[in-house]
Amino acid sequence: MGEGLISVIVAVYNIEGYLQRCVDSVLGQSYGALEVILVDDGSTDGSGGICDGYAARDDRVRVVHKKNGGLSDARNAGLAIARGDYIGFVDGDDWIEPDMYREMYGACVRGDAQIAVCRYKQITRSGVIDASTGNSVLLSKAEALEIYVCGDERYLIYNSVWSKLFSAELIRGMRFPVGKNSEDIMFTTKAFCKMERLVYLDTAYYNYVLDREGSIMNEKAGERRLKDEIPFWREQIAYFAEVGLPGLSDKAAYHFYRRMLFYFIDFMGQKSTRGFAGEIMGQIREDKKKGTVDRIYGMDFVAAGDKVRMKLALAAPALYYGLVRVYDQFVVPFRVGVRKALHGMRRGS
């Protein structure tokens, strides 16, 4: 099997303490035909110099130095000069396993797929989370989109572009929205709607370092969700309808409202973020006035329990929050304990 060129775009901004681990993992790939594009997004530490050092030592490395414009702008700068047949993305504070691109490229060629997706390890302060099974499956566009929108515990097909390998032809002309966070949502959505097949590798080839600042429950996260993430989810719902997938648009709306209720509970948990919780509930109520919530929650695919939750949340938000907290604190641990006890009894029989 001949090797097509893979362009790996690494956005770099003030990560001198992590950059070497990242770039070494890309250059150490068992797949040979690589170009590595390091985009220095106006770093003020030693990151830019580290990038230049790699370019001087390895002719597979190309460096772009630019004014700071954010992650989307940096990735777009890389896309503008990428020459590969396939495109991959790696965040500069993460790293990848040696066989990642060899396996993903090979799976694309064998399955005539335009996108490969792999599982990833979550690197946390307390340890590593990896639920890999080693399975591999080829999915049609319809199958992959259903999993992407609705979720499936057998697959980890998420928005993040760094867990994917894209055919360059598929994403030609596509760019990330500059000045926004959660930029992967629409890029991945549009790519999925253009593809014919996707291959999923249930092996964690990517090492994702969780937010080093700790909990997402902070004011910055609230602003990011309200200003960027939620508008992108709404854009996704509209996009599915525009490209002739109304059923998927409705399912995306259902999962959007489930996500909104999760955000509401999340933000209600701390006094400093309860204002965001109020804004979330305000948006849901506005959608109910328009008839959108009732239309979506009247559909057959909506779980009965979710219908009750939405009705209660709209009628009495504080009561809904209290009941969810009680459920999480007492009922869930009790059920887990019962399952463990029953499992132990079965093993002992």
Mean of the pLDDT values across residues 314-330?
88
As a whole number, mean pLDDT of residues 45-64 equals 97
pLDDT at 222: 78
Which percentage of the chain shows pLDDT scores above 90? 78
The 10s digit of each residue's pLDDT in 266-292 is: 999 888 889 999 999 999 999 999 999
Q: Kindly report which listed range (4-8, 28-32, 110-114, 177-181) carries the lowest average pLDDT score.
A: 177-181
Does residue 179 surpass a pLDDT of 80?
A: yes
**What pLDDT score does 269 carry?**
87
Any idea which of 24-33, 140-149, 163-172, 179-188 has the lowest mean pLDDT?
179-188
Of residues 266, 155, 146, 282, the one with CA closest to residue 215? 266
Which of 64-68, 121-125, 152-156 is the least confident region?
121-125
Phi, psi dihedral angles at 122 (to 5 degrees): -95, 115
CATH for the 6-209 domain, from 3.40.190.10, 3.90.550.10, 3.40.640.10, 2.60.40.10: 3.90.550.10
131: buried, middle or exposed (CB in 10 Å: 19+, 13-18, 0-12)? exposed
Instruction: Indicate the pLDDT class of residue 313, thresholds 50, 70 and 90.
Output: very high
- In the chain, where the domains are located: 6-209, 219-336
pLDDT value for 129: 85
Mean pLDDT of 122-130: 85
Give this prediction's pTM: 0.89
> Average model confidence (pLDDT) for the chain?
90
Mean of the pLDDT values across residues 150-166? 94
